[in-house]
C-alpha cells in the first residue's frame, strides 16, 4: 500500500515538474531566431565566453535584471530563438556600470563573479571619421569622463589635441556608447579581439 502511495506521489511530482517547465521550453522553440547585431547585444559582465554555453547555462530566471541598478539588462523575447529569456545589454540604450550585482545573484554558472578589470564584454572602438574631437569639431570627452575604469580603459591623447583613445584596460561596459552626443554613435563595442579604431577610417 505504501509503495503504491509513493509511486502515485512520484508520478504526480514528475507531471508537475514537466508541466511547469513546458512554457519555458516551448517559448524557446516557438520564438523565431533572428540575427543579432553584436554591437547592440552584449552579454552581462561575467558571462561565459562561449555564447552557446551561456545560452545552455542560463535558465531565464530574470534575477540579473531585477538587481541591476541602472536597469540596463534586457531579455530576448519573441525574436530570440534559443536565446529567449536570456539577458543582454544594448549600450545604445543603457550601458553597464560594472556594479557586479548580476554576477552575484546568478544561480547558475552563466554569470560568474569576476573582478571589474577582468570582465570581458568587448572593447570600445572609435570611428575617427565621425568622433567630434577627431574631426576638429571641438573637445568632447563624454566617453572619457563617464568610464568607470578611468584612464586604464579610455583617456585623452594629450599630444594629439585631447582626442579620446581607447586603452587595453577597456572591458566593454558600453557607458561611453550611451553618453556619446554624436547621433551616428562613432563609438561602439566590438569583440575583444577587435581594433580600438574603426578599420579603414583612421
Question: Mind listing the pLDDT tens digit for each residue in 135-167?
Answer: 988 889 999 999 999 999 999 988 877 899 999
- Residue 38: inside a domain, yes or no? no
On the question of pLDDT at 96 being above 60, the answer is yes
Q: What is the CATH number of the domain that holds 184?
A: 3.30.70.20
More confident site: 30 or 149: 149
- Residue 88: inside a domain, yes or no? yes
Predicted TM-score (pTM) of this structure: 0.76
Judge if 111 and 133 occupy the same domain.
Answer: no
- Residue 91: inside a domain, yes or no? yes
Distances (CA, A) of 125 to 25, 151, 191: 37, 15, 10
- Residue 41: inside a domain, yes or no? no
- The model's confidence at residue 13, banded by pLDDT at 50, 70 and 90, is low
Judge if 132 and 100 occupy the same domain.
Answer: no
- Residue 26: inside a domain, yes or no? no
Domain count, the chain: 2
Average pLDDT over residues 84-88: 92
Q: HSE-up of 22 (CA within 13 Å, CB side)?
A: 7
Q: Say if CB 124 and CB 152 are below 8 A apart.
A: no
Judge if 107 and 159 occupy the same domain.
Answer: no
Last residue within a domain, chosen from 97, 115, 133: 115
Across 9-13, 35-39, 148-152, 187-191, least confident range: 35-39
- Output the pLDDT for position 137: 83
**What is the extent of the structural domain holding 95?**
51-115
Judge if 155 and 100 occupy the same domain.
Answer: no
Average pLDDT over residues 68-82: 85
Give me the percent of the chain exceeding a pLDDT of 90.
64
Amino acid at each position: 500500500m505504501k509503495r503504491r502511495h509513493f509511486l502515485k506521489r512520484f508520478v504526480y511530482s514528475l507531471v508537475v515538474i514537466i508541466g511547469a517547465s513546458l512554457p519555458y521550453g516551448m517559448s524557446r522553440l516557438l520564438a523565431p531566431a533572428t540575427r543579432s547585431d553584436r554591437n547592440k547585444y552584449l552579454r552581462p559582465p561575467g558571462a561565459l565566453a562561449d555564447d552557446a554555453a551561456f545560452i545552455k547555462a542560463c535558465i531565464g530566471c530574470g534575477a540579473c535584471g531585477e538587481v541591476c541598478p541602472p536597469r540596463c539588462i534586457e531579455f530576448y523575447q519573441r525574436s530570440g530563438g534559443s536565446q529567449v529569456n536570456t539577458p543582454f545589454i544594448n549600450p545604445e540604450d543603457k550601458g553597464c556600470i560594472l556594479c557586479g550585482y548580476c554576477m552575484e545573484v546568478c544561480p547558475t554558472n552563466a554569470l560568474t563573479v569576476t573582478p571589474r578589470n577582468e570582465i570581458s564584454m568587448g572593447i570600445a572602438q572609435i570611428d575617427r571619421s565621425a568622433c567630434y574631437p577627431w574631426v576638429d569639431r571641438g573637445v568632447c570627452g563624454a566617453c572619457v569622463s563617464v568610464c568607470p575604469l578611468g584612464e586604464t580603459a579610455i583617456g585623452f591623447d594629450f599630444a594629439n589635441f585631447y582626442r579620446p583613445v581607447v586603452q587595453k584596460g577597456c572591458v566593454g561596459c558600453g557607458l561611453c556608447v550611451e553618453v556619446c552626443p554624436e547621433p551616428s554613435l562613432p563609438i561602439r563595442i566590438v569583440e575583444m579581439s577587435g581594433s580600438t579604431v574603426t578599420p579603414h577610417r583612421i
